[in-house]
Structure 1
Amino acid sequence: MGAPDPGTPNGRSAEGGALIGYARVSTPEQDMSLQIDALEKAGCARIFTDVAGGAKAERAGLAEALAYLRPADTLVVWKIDRLGRSLPHLVGLVENLRDRGIGFRSLTDAGMDTTTPSGALIFHIFAALADFERSLIRERTKAGLEVAAARGRKGGRRSVVTPGVLKRARDMMDKGLTVRQAAAALKIGKTPLYEALRAADEAAGSGSGGKENGV
């Protein structure tokens, strides 16, 4: 399982580049030695590591490994779930490596070696599945927005400027306060208040756009 391929002697990739390993565990309590031993036996010239959950976006070790890799090198992992947070993330990483002329290999996932014809085919299948997953997400998001619109809501965060807050702001401005002062008194941002005033004016057809009564 962890032995280097016959075509990659002395820790070199099939193209003559270096084999660079990457290992990851989710918590400090987990043992990384199994992964590191397998990567060393596979002939990795250097191994980068991370202690981070699979969903964690920032992984310093992975970032260092990606920056260290050069064309003709191959990134080697013990298992593909050590690299990607999700299938689309994994495919995106491997596509980026391929664009840079770098291979990818998993020691325990049979056939996952993009430097071989069969491995490249498997990766293309993964890429198609990832694209399918992204399409499903887009469709669900679109459907959710259409349902929300049908119920009279727009997508995004709900405005902090409710009709009641807007009325209080206008009352304060009628008494001489500026938009900035009214927003501060109501403990809301002046930008949301500007937007709410502008939207209300446009709806009323005044076109005033919520101009500030001085700053």
Structure 2
Amino acid sequence: MSARYPGMKIGYARVSTDEQNLSLQLHALEKVPCDIILTDKASGADASRKGLRRALRRIKAGDILVVWKLDRLGRSLMDLVKIVEHLNQKRAGLRILTGQGSMIDTTHSEGRLMFSLFAALAEFERELIRERTIAGMKAARRRGVHIGRPRKLSPAQLHTARRWIERRAKTYKQAADSLDVSVTTLRRGLDSFSG
């Protein structure tokens, strides 16, 4: 155990429900040896990973999270980066035992370097997604698509309110009360209404 990581080794194993067999992962984690091993049997992108959540809550400074393979830990690059950022904030390490991710052992400088590269790629991916989202929203606005929360007033209601106010049949307050909205909402709707 290194001086920087004198704490517990917490193992984590996960299989999807169709795999059903944790024995290979458990054997590898027991050989480390891990002080505690938490498991999940879950499949699907929205599956709850209670074992992982318990492991991340339990881990403290100086502990190491040990996982058999990288794909057992995260479902995407950004998911992995979030988990490792959480471990870094707690001053805990991560060790991957086998597979393509086995070069990741944040208890050593080489592993921290590898993970820094993954973090940079994840940041690059986040920026690409952000840029695409902004470009998509601009294109939608140019096509006249409303972006944001649903409007409280329909175009027909705004058209009616404009007629009432222009003909002095109702004040802004009376029109807003008739449409069950605030005067501010009515004014904002009329300002952006082109019908």
Instruction: Note whether the superposition's TM-score is higher than 0.5.
Output: yes
Q: CA offsets, 1:33-55, max 9 Å, x none?
A: 21111111120111111222362
Counterparts of 1:145 and 1:24 in 2: how far apart (Å)?
38
Higher mean Cα deviation, 63-72 or 134-143? 63-72
| 1:39 and 2:29 matched | yes
Counterparts of 2:44 and 2:72 in 1: how far apart (Å)?
8
Secondary structure of the structure 2 residue equivalent to 1:113: coil
Residue identity opposite 1:85 in structure 2: R
Unaligned runs of 5+ in 2: 165-169
TM-score scaled by length of structure 1: 0.71
Q: CA deviation at 1:202?
A: 3.7
- Flag the 1:131–1:203 CA change in 2: closer, same or farther, 3 A: closer
What residue in structure 1 maps to residue 112 of structure 2? 120
Higher mean Cα deviation, 129-138 or 21-30? 21-30
| 1:200 and 2:193 matched | no
Give percent identity, aligned residues only.
Answer: 48
Q: CA deviation at 1:113?
A: 0.3
Q: CA offsets, 1:128-151, max 9 Å, x none?
A: 100110010011011101111222
Conserved in 1, the CA contact under 8 Å of 2:5 and 2:93? no
Q: CA deviation at 1:152?
A: 2.1
Unaligned runs of 5+ in 1: 1-7, 184-189, 205-215
TM-score scaled by length of structure 2: 0.77
What residue in structure 2 maps to residue 211 of structure 1? none
Counterparts of 2:41 and 2:160 in 1: how far apart (Å)?
51
Conserved in 2, the CA contact under 8 Å of 1:75 and 1:105? yes
Q: How many residues in Structure 1 have an aligned counterpart in Structure 2?
A: 183
- Flag the 1:156–1:25 CA change in 2: closer, same or farther, 3 A: farther
Q: CA deviation at 1:157?
A: 5.1
Q: CA deviation at 1:99?
A: 2.0
- Flag the 1:117–1:203 CA change in 2: closer, same or farther, 3 A: closer
Conserved in 1, the CA contact under 8 Å of 2:94 and 2:106? yes
